Structure 1
Amino acid sequence: MTTKMRSEIAEQPAALRATLDALLPRVGEVEAIAARTRHLVFVARGTSDNAAVYGRYLVEAYAGRLAALAAPSIATTYKRRIDLSGALAVGLSQSGRTEEIVETLAWAKDCGAATVAITNGGEGSPLAQAADLALCTVAGAEEAVPATKTYTTQLAALAVLALGLGAGVEAGDLARVPDAVEELIADPGDLDAVVEGLAGVQGVVVSGRGMAFSTALETALKLKEACYLHAMGLSYADLLHGPIAVVDRDTPALLVAAGEGPTLPGTVALARRVTGAGAAAYAVGGGAELAGAATASLNGPALPEWVAPMGLIVPGQLLTEALARRLGYDPDSPRGLNKVTQTQ
């Protein structure tokens, strides 16, 4: 039986095409609202927070603007005011109904920020209504609890946001993303080998850096949500500062990288270090060089680094769905989770 999660993974190329068709013509609107701002703050939780990590790297590396991840509790629990004049606050929520995110975005506006919402909840959602500008993704209804198509379309919306902020990238690269995702769904690489490698372990370290860091965090979250693994998502720079001690024969590493870019050599070196210590290193992306240093590998997208995360997450999604079934779990309905999470 095909799970809802697997069906929604397969819907991503169409969802990405629809989202890019809807949002690329709105780059000028982003430019207008961004003209009166200097820096950004992203407001999100969970999967949306992982998407925001991609947004942060994208904006800082290519648009030259300082960006940060907000702590919503400053607004909702501590109820403090911060001078946000000159800031662009970007709220991300797939449903657009997460009360904490809606409240924090409204707080940011009250503190002087210009506000943008990124949501799949539509123009009528509370988050879209709270924002000066809403960039609504076109993923369609998502029924499985683990987010797939709503996550990748969030990344597409963040790429459009970056274009509006003046990112020095080639906008035409976005047109290649849906086809690249389609290719990965059809051929994810050594999926069976990686599933079997993770089926007998209790934990895994998932690591990437730079643009791929968001993918490492999101893949780790998916493995925790649906497979109940103790999955630790880390930048490999942080991993090398101590946590690498947990990587051993019983705790493999899942290493994520685009097929190009400044973080690829470090990821390859990490794979060699892990396998040299007798542990398994499974690659996601990174081209032939990373695959050659790994125990087994999943394919990555043939895309420039700045858009690669939209494809890099797909093998991780397929791995999560297949591993959950291999372990006898239902990936559509992980225990203790709901589609919309409200923070107390």
Structure 2
Amino acid sequence: MTTETSVMRSEIGEQPAALRRTLEALLPQTAEVAALAGKTRQVLFVARGSSDNAAVYGSYLLQAHSGRLATLASPSIATVYGAEVDLSGVLAVAISQSGRTEEIVDTMNWAARCGARTISVTNGDDSPLARGADVALLTRAGDELAVPATKTYTAQLAALAVLALGLGADLDEAELRAVPDAIEETLAAPTDALDEIVARLAGVSGAVVSGRGMAFSTALETALKLKEACYLHAMGLSYADLLHGPLAVVDAQTPALLVAANSGPTLPGTVALAERVRAADAPVYAIGGGSALAKSSDLAVDVPDLPEWLAPISLIVPAQLITERLARAKGFDPDAPRSLNKVTQTS
């Protein structure tokens, strides 16, 4: 594997600072979020790509801790079908790294016309998404040059954690403020297990990435990164969905990469899945899950202890490192995957 440093790797290393800036800017806005959302009952997330994976985290977080129903929008209902939907009592949260993806901007504006209050989460401070929302949560990731999202993605997760606090979630702000330190610890940790996972993934063409609950977003984002930067046929699945049939695709040449917080209600099920996969003579690699998941896996990357509601912000970092190293090991440029642009326009 080449030792050349990519822009993607540099931007992975910038995440602790980006998160500190983002939290410092956004935590004072919790009262503004609360005032806007006071007359709403449920949340509708509008996003695509990595931002959609961030929205999955937001959906689980809000439903588990704020008592609000949260769902993911189908933007084509607005942009293709032009349907009119009663969105009174809805808080529409539009997420876009650039804030310039026309489909997301148009869908947020459509939601407002249908009666929703709107919040944008974007790194584009002078973008149409930021200007058009009732409240803009502007992340402070700085310019992101590599096409695969890293620091903008974790900044979005931090913004959604702030959103949860603003919506009345009974969660500890001090725990959120500790996340940048946890990611610094992850970046400084030994890489032996991570390097071995990369070496083994270099010899396969596909993988299944699985998690559940809060960690499901990490599974989806990890699979996306492996697809877009390493051209690996990676499927991101909830372990509940995996057990309903697709488990049959896991074999000696299609390993399972499992992600989990070090504690929480979904950890026992993740451990049971690891044991079942190993019983089928398929490789199991783990990110997080503590000693329980490590014992049931062939290789495991440890992560710092964070409460389950914040673990996805940390869990994705080893997956980003694996993606960057695997891309280079396979002779690909992780900064500029083929057929991708930094801003993707869809209709």
Normalised TM-score (structure 2): 0.98
The corresponding residue for 2:135 is 133
| C-alpha contact (below 8 Å) 1:207/1:254 kept by paired residues | yes
Letter in 1 for 2:176: L
Pick the aligned partner of 2:327 from 294, 315, 324: 324
Distance 2:24 2:195 in 1: 35
| CA deviation map 1:79-134 (0-9, x unaligned) | 00100000000000000000000000000000000000000001x21001110000
1:300-311 correspondence to structure 2 within 5 Å: 300-311=303-314
Distance 2:219 2:57 in 1: 11
1:225-264 correspondence to structure 2 within 5 Å: 225-264=228-267
| C-alpha contact (below 8 Å) 1:188/1:298 kept by paired residues | no
| C-alpha contact (below 8 Å) 1:144/1:332 kept by paired residues | yes
Distance 1:19 1:82 in 2: 33
Secondary structure at the counterpart of residue 37 of structure 1? coil
| CA deviation map 1:264-292 (0-9, x unaligned) | 00001111111111000000000111111
1:76-225 correspondence to structure 2 within 5 Å: 76-122=79-125, 124-187=126-189, 189=191, 190-225=193-228
Letter in 2 for 1:286: G
Secondary structure at the counterpart of residue 294 of structure 1? coil
Distance 2:67 2:275 in 1: 33
The corresponding residue for 2:52 is 49
| C-alpha contact (below 8 Å) 1:72/1:101 kept by paired residues | yes
| Bigger mean CA offset, 183-192 vs 87-96 | 183-192
The corresponding residue for 2:337 is 334
Find runs of 4+ consecutive structure 1 residues off by over 2 angstroms.
none
Distance 2:202 2:188 in 1: 23
Distance 2:304 2:43 in 1: 28
| CA deviation map 1:196-225 (0-9, x unaligned) | 111111100000000000000000000000
Letter in 2 for 1:70: A
Distance 2:72 2:62 in 1: 12
Query: Does 1:11 find its partner at 2:11?
Result: no
| C-alpha contact (below 8 Å) 1:301/1:312 kept by paired residues | no
Letter in 2 for 1:9: I
1:273-312 correspondence to structure 2 within 5 Å: 273-312=276-315
| C-alpha contact (below 8 Å) 1:43/1:49 kept by paired residues | yes
1:188, distance to aligned residue in structure 2 (A): 5.9
Q: Which runs of 5+ in 2 are unaligned?
A: none
1:34-45 correspondence to structure 2 within 5 Å: 34-45=37-48
Letter in 1 for 2:124: G
The corresponding residue for 2:67 is 64
Identity score, percent: 69
1:185, distance to aligned residue in structure 2 (A): 1.0
Normalised TM-score (structure 1): 0.99
Distance 2:314 2:195 in 1: 19
The corresponding residue for 2:26 is 23
Distance 1:279 1:326 in 2: 23
Q: Which runs of 5+ in 1 are unaligned?
A: none
Distance 2:301 2:138 in 1: 31
Letter in 1 for 2:270: T
1:301, distance to aligned residue in structure 2 (A): 2.8
| C-alpha contact (below 8 Å) 1:44/1:91 kept by paired residues | yes
